[in-house]
Amino acid sequence: MPKPRRPSGRVVVTPLHNFAMPVLRYEIGDEAVGGPPCPCGRGLPVLRQVIGRTLDLLTLPDGRRRRTDLRHYHLSRIRPILEFQVVQRTIDTIELSIVVARPLTPEEEAMVMGVARTEFGPDFHIMLAYPKAIARTLAGKLRPFLSLLPTE
């Protein structure tokens, strides 16, 4: 019998060093799973696992949302791929932006599409794009998944 999964939730932090207003809470955009009590005995909440950013959820055509993992290690085996980003443009359209060192061969493109089809399934139209570079966040990070769907 499988172990029951602990529910995940949003990570909200409170800076305890702010004596003027110590009860301010900041939602940092991460989702995590709580863990067992710390053996140190302090009694503060413990995180067992940080799952990822709450922004990075794929919306399925039926409206459900889930995490996506484009199998980085499968794509990194295709030597000319330098970096990539998955962009959900519409409820059923995925654009895979790939920065390459040289144009992909038809065989390499077929491998990319096979990895994408395995991850996203038959309900999505998958397009490949080849930008010169992928935009970074203001903090300089590459977001591996970006949804352009309206937020709730």
Residue 7 has pLDDT above 90, yes or no: no
Are residues 58 and 88 in contact, defined by beta-carbon separation less than 8 angstroms? yes
Distance of CA 33 to the CA centre of its chain: 16
What pLDDT digit, counting tens, does each position of 65-86 carry? 888 877 677 888 899 999 999 9
pLDDT tens digits along 10-56:
777 776 666 666 566 666 667 778 888 888 888 777 888 777 666 67
pLDDT value of residue 67: 80
The pLDDT score that the predictor gives to residue 84 is 93
- Output the average pLDDT for the chain: 83
Q: Name the more confident of 1 and 25.
A: 25
DSSP state of 63: S
Contacts of 59 (CB under 8 A, 6+ apart): 65, 88, 91, 147, 149
> Which residue did the predictor score with more confidence, 1 or 117?
117
pTM: 0.68
Domains of the chain: 8-53 (no CATH), 57-147 (3.30.300)
